[in-house]
Amino acid sequence: MKIGILTSGGDCPGLNAVIRGAVLKGIAVHGQEFVGFRDGWRGVVEGDIIEIPRTLVRGIAKQGGTILGTSRTNPFENGGGPDVIKAHMDRLGIDAIIAIGGEGTLAAAKRLTDVGLKIVGVPKTIDNDLDATDYTFGFDTAVEIATEAIDRLRTTGESHHRCMIAEVMGRHVGWIALHSGMASGAHAILIPEQRVSIDQIAAWVKLAHDRGRAPLVVVAEGFSTDTMEQAHSERGLDTFGRPRLGGIGERLAPELEALTGIETRATVLGHIQRGGVPTAFDRVLATRLGMAAIDSVVEGRWGTMVSLNGTDIVHVGFDAALGRLKTVPQDRYDEARVLFG
């Protein structure tokens, strides 16, 4: 059996560990052959592949990025569609596809399995916002990177008696902000799920300052206060038609400075959070998911993705993960909020 693997959407530390896990198990246990589609669905639509012998995956579990490349290509556009993809698969002798990606990738995979293509999924996102899996690989690494960076911001903030704002990723949900903020002892954590007024944020900042601390604010890129809602919509859409985010930290800094009288600086961590070496936790999770995806293929579980349930890897239908985001629940935010003062 020949299996094609693709990585699609924004990259994520651990993608290579998934590929390695799948390839090593597939070759060792089932004698399968592997190819990789270059740059996600673009490679599928164009039939652009590379062979993946065992030697190609040697030592890659610790490498960031993806050896296959990625893109945000939609397989139903750009000359694609099920017939084109099926024709490429037949010509190249590919029996099944393992699609590693986020909600967009899994939604496309579902549409393609609905018309008979043999695809299984592996969920991926640093944002940890995919439903039907307890954690996604890449999240732990992103939190680790953000926490380290925030710890560094704290020491320079303390030297200068400044308020420091760290803007982390999180377009729709605040998991990275919540975890890195709790880990680094932030005095305010701001996430898209929770509307907080600028006056409340200023009050938290002043409280920390009055206690002799350098106030530390961790904000997810998708956060907005009531007064900033307008500013968000004015930023328009990015090239993928998504609301253009980022810059919330830069917008908060002058407002907080004006309200508190405390000199304030903002730092955007950005794509630093998606790059580099995955943590051991993410490598293990990603490897296990890759291996379990081989079981899905062997068992013909088309239209399902592998998922983490507690400490077990299970198989769930694409439907379970689509259409709703896993947001930060109220009790998790309330728990963190107690620590603000």
Binding-site sequence positions for ATP: 10, 72-73, 102-105
The Cβ of residue 338 has, within 10 Å, a number of other Cβ atoms equal to 7
Position 142, amino acid: A
Is 127 annotated in the active site?
yes
Annotated binding-site residue numbers for substrate: 125-127, 162, 169-171, 221, 265, 271-274
Q: From the CB of 185, what's the least distance to ligand F6P, in Å?
A: 23
Buried/exposed code over 26-45 (b: 16+ C-beta within 10 A; e: otherwise): bbeeeebbbbbbbbbbbbbb
> Which is nearer to ligand F6P, 126 or 202 (by Cβ)?
126
> Which is nearer to ligand F6P, 238 or 334 (by Cβ)?
238
Q: From the CB of 12, what's the least distance to ligand F6P, in Å?
A: 8
In the complex, the residues that contact ligand F6P under the rule CB under 6 A are 10, 125-127, 169-171, 221, 245, 274
Query: Token pair of 280, please?
Result: 């051991």
Sheet holding 216-220, edge to edge: 188-190, 216-220, 163-168, 264-268
Q: Spot the catalytic one: 48, 83, 114, 127.
A: 127
> Which is nearer to ligand F6P, 57 or 177 (by Cβ)?
177
Q: From the CB of 249, what's the least distance to ligand F6P, in Å?
A: 14
Distances (CA, A) of 308 to 49, 130, 230, 289: 29, 11, 38, 8
Q: Which residues pair with 4 in a beta bridge?
A: 35, 97
The Cβ of residue 71 has, within 10 Å, a number of other Cβ atoms equal to 16
> Which is nearer to ligand F6P, 238 or 299 (by Cβ)?
238
Annotated binding-site residue numbers for Mg(2+): 103
As a whole number of angstroms, the distance between CA 273 and CA 176 comes to: 10
Q: Are the beta carbons of 45 and 79 closer than 8 angstroms?
A: yes
Q: From the CB of 246, what's the least distance to ligand F6P, in Å?
A: 8
For the annotated catalytic residues, the residue numbers are: 127
